[in-house]
């Protein structure tokens, strides 16, 4: 079989060896069956062998050997454990009948070699037959391209990784070759420009051009720590050896490694963290230009290829572009450690996305979306982050075109898949800056941003973000919070409303904080909950809501209050007379947060609640958000609720104004008015003390003169008798400070 000329590229390296292996064993089993029936000279048998020979050729396109092995009753081909099938059974049966555990087919095998082998392979012969041992038959026929139970057949099987072809996985040529290359840096250095025989000696049977193509990718995938450890180990050898010739061996290996890692994405970091003496010796050893090596040529070729494609696709006469071809070339840049060049390419494509030519914009969009799919966000972090940052900058400077909406969505989706919530937050924050709220209506100054938000605002995505927030770490949860707030849709508010009663307190608090920042979206969602009578239904003999309803209602009221939006008063005022005192208590707190004239009016109503706790809370809230204009309303309430008068009087002192001063002055000066107000339900001294303190709180001259006049109006006997009373002490303390 001829060694076909191989064009190594990303497409060919994606070839699935498992599919080939299963196809080969199927066709070989069929050919063996026909050979056993018709014999070698029959045209049917000869034609049947063409198909397995074809599949042998497809595998030999990439590697020198095809191995069959039996282990624990399972058939392996190319070290892939094949799925159970009738075809496997036929091959295993033929092998076991001849006591064969390993077969090895070499790339130079001819069709005649395969025909002779299969003809003998399917024969049922006695162990006493001289050709029972197939290896003897092959030796006599001088067939060197097929080996039976040979050391090489066993060694390759034992030294290669085993794969499960009966489960889903990556069975590409690239994956198999990278696995064979291993992670031993010292060995990888020796594979540069290596020949086939040397590779075979190291149990690598892929051809040198494939190895050379993938070697830069393998080197770039090694961690900087592992490379630095090898270099430090070699440096130790250089420093401890006395003989100069002996030192040359590890030092030359160090220099070879540095030439090899020229394209490693963290090369500078590796150098910086080396021992100073070693770094000086390396730098003194000369420039690390690998352009003359096979790997260096590959890097140059990949750069030239990407530049050529850009020139071809975006020239004035270009009509079409192949996004897959470009993404393969771009992936090659990344895999050969040329992140700097990749960033440059991304920036150029972004420029084309902003171009006035619509064809250029569409081409650039298609290519960038294909390129985004190729990213491994962890390995290609710097390039991916630069792409996100470029989009953020263009949004900030209003350079985006409508095509950016699709690119933003693709980047967001990639971040979501890779759980890069920090980048998602950065994208959505930049988008949110292009959206305003005008008179309760969301207005976008960019259709690109509006479309991107519509793409992101999907139930599946929202549910995934919330799930990640629940299960994620603290820093991750903060990023997710920023994303949810930036999107700010009613769908998000509705989804969060489902977990505001979560058993974990931290999650409840995080959800409520997000809802409080969602503004009108939260307002609409939670207003609907409060206005929905089904949430307030309970058994006829119960005042309190069932727990599962109470938690939702409580949190809904909390969110409406936290929003501090006057529109939140509309649903809340419907429930100020609810039978559950807990509901009324939460509503008072919400009114206090919202504030405003209408909230004060509603609190005045709640200041006459049948439960004193609610009345006092409402009066206190009025004291915090009311003003002097509220005083007449409170005075009116005081006349009907003597029990709350001391609290109301105290609040009047806080609110101030002429009405408050006049009312308090009359009360302290008119014993009959004070007695009527107390109504026999509270102590007149308690009420009098509250009035004095309220006047002291007002602190103006009129109020202080009223207190002094009250004190002067007392008889000598009263002054002596009540000298140490709370009322006298309060008056003396207030007047002494003025």
Confidence category of residue 710, pLDDT binned at 50, 70, 90: confident
Using DSSP's 3-state secondary structure scheme, residue 147 falls into strand
Tell me the per-residue pLDDT of 152-177, one tens digit each, with 9 for 90 and over: 999 989 888 899 888 888 899 999 99
Which is more confidently placed, 657 or 322?
657
* Res 281: pLDDT: 59
CA gap 702, 691 in Å, rounded: 14
Most confident of 52-56, 433-437, 509-513: 52-56
Q: State the maximum Cα–Cα separation within the chain, in Å, rounded to a whole number.
A: 144
CA gap 205, 198 in Å, rounded: 10
Tell me the per-residue pLDDT of 31-48, one tens digit each, with 9 for 90 and over: 999 998 888 788 898 899
pLDDT above 90: residue 446: no
Give this prediction's pTM: 0.62
Instruction: Give the pair of three-digit tokens for residue 679.
Output: 């109504």
Most confident of 318-332, 411-425, 686-700: 411-425
Do residues 516 and 559 touch, judged by C-beta distance below 8 A? Answer: yes
* Res 697: pLDDT: 87
* Res 332: pLDDT: 79
CA distances (Å), 671 to each of 302, 634, 674, in order?
100, 21, 5
pLDDT above 90: residue 184: no
CA gap 737, 440 in Å, rounded: 50
* Res 5: pLDDT: 44
**3-class SS letters over 39-93:** CCCCHHHHHHHHHHHHHHHHHHCCECEEEEEEECCEEEECCEECCCCHHHHHHHH
For the chain, give the mean pLDDT. 85
Confidence category of residue 338, pLDDT binned at 50, 70, 90: confident
Most confident of 295-299, 324-328, 389-393: 389-393
Confidence category of residue 617, pLDDT binned at 50, 70, 90: very high
pLDDT above 60: residue 119: yes
* Res 277: pLDDT: 61
* Res 720: pLDDT: 62
Q: Is 196 exposed, middle or buried (0-12, 13-18, 19+ CB in 10 A)?
A: middle
Segment 381-392 mean pLDDT: 88
Which is more confidently placed, 92 or 475?
92
pLDDT above 90: residue 54: yes
* Res 718: pLDDT: 60
**DSSP code at position 369:** H
Question: What values do phi and psi take at 639, rounded to 5?
Answer: -65, -25
pLDDT above 60: residue 311: yes
Tell me the per-residue pLDDT of 221-243, one tens digit each, with 9 for 90 and over: 888 788 888 877 887 777 777 77
pLDDT above 80: residue 299: no
* Res 583: pLDDT: 95
């Amino acid at each position: 079989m001829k060694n076909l000329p191989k064009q190594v590229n990303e497409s060919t390296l994606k070839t699935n060896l498992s599919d080939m292996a299963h196809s080969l064993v199927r066709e070989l089993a069929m050919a063996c069956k026909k050979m056993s029936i018709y014999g070698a000279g029959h045209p049917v048998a000869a034609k049947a062998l063409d198909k397995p020979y074809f599949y042998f050729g497809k595998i030999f396109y990439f590697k020198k050997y095809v191995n069959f092995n039996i282990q624990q009753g399972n058939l392996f081909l190319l070290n892939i454990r094949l799925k159970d099938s009738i075809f496997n059974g036929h091959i295993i049966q033929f092998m076991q009948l001849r006591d064969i555990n390993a077969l090895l087919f070499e790339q130079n095998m001819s069709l005649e070699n395969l025909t002779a082998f299969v003809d003998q392979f399917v024969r049922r012969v006695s162990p006493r037959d001289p050709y029972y041992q197939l290896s003897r038959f092959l030796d006599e026929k001088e067939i060197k391209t097929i080996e039976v139970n040979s050391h090489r057949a066993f060694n390759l099987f034992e030294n290669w990784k085993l794969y499960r072809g009966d489960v889903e996985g990556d069975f590409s040529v690239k994956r198999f070759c990278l696995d064979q290359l291993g992670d031993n840096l010292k060995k990888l250095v020796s594979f540069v420009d290596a020949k086939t025989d040397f590779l075979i000696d190291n149990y690598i049977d892929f051809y040198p051009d494939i190895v050379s193509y993938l070697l830069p990718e393998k080197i770039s995938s090694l961690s900087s720590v592992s490379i630095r450890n090898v270099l430090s180990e070699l440096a130790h050898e250089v420093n401890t050896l006395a003989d100069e010739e002996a030192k040359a061996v590890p030092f030359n290996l160090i220099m070879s490694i540095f030439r090899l890692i020229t394209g490693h994405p963290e090369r500078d970091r590796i150098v910086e963290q080396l021992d100073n003496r070693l770094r000086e010796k390396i730098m003194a050893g000369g420039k690390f230009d690998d352009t003359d090596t096979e790997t260096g040529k590959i890097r140059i070729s990949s750069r030239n290829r990407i530049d050529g494609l850009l020139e071809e696709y975006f020239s004035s006469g270009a009509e079409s572009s192949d996004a897959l071809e470009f993404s393969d070339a771009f992936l090659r840049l990344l895999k050969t450690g040329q992140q700097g060049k990749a960033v440059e390419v991304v920036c150029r494509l972004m420029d084309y996305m902003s171009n006035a030519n619509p064809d250029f914009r569409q081409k650039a969009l298609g290519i960038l979306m294909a390129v985004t799919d190729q990213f491994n966000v962890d390995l290609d972090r710097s390039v991916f982050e630069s792409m996100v940052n470029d989009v953020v900058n263009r949004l900030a400077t209003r350079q985006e075109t409508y095509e950016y909406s699709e690119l933003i969505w693709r980047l967001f989706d990639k971040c979501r898949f890779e759980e890069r919530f920090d980048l998602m937050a950065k994208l959505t924050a930049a988008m949110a800056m292009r959206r305003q709220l005008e008179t309760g209506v969301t207005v976008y100054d960019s259709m690109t941003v509006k479309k991107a938000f519509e793409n992101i605002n999907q139930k599946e995505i929202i549910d995934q973000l919330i799930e990640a927030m629940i299960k994620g770490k603290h820093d991750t949860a903060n990023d997710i919070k920023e994303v949810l707030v930036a999107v700010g849709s009613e769908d998000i508010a509705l989804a969060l409303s489902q977990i505001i009663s979560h058993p974990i307190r931290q999650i409840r608090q995080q959800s409520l904080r997000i809802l409080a920042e969602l503004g009108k979206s939260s307002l609409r969602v939670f207003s609907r909950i409060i206005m929905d009578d089904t949430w307030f239904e309970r058994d006829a003999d119960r005042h309190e809501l069932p727990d599962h309803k109470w938690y939702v209602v409580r949190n809904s009221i909390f969110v409406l209050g936290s929003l501090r939006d006057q529109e939140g008063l509309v649903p809340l005022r419907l429930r100020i007379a609810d039978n559950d005192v807990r509901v009324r208590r939460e509503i008072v707190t919400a009114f206090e947060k919202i504030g405003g004239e209408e909230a004060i009016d509603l609190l005045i109503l709640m200041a006459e609640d049948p439960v004193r706790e609610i009345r006092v809370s409402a009066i206190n809230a009025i004291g915090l958000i009311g003003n002097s204009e509220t005083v007449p309303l409170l005075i009116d309430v005081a006349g009907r609720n003597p029990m709350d008068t001391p609290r109301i009087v105290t609040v009047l002192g806080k609110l101030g104004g002429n009405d408050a001063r006049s009312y308090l002055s009359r009360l302290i000066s008119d014993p009959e008015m004070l007695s009527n107000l107390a109504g026999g339900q509270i102590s007149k001294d308690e009420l009098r003390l509250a009035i004095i303190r309220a006047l002291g709180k007002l602190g103006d001259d009129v109020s202080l003169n009223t207190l002094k006049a009250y004190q002067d109006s007392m008889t000598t006997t009263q002054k002596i008798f009540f000298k140490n009373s709370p009322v006298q002490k309060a008056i003396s303390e207030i007047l002494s400070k003025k």
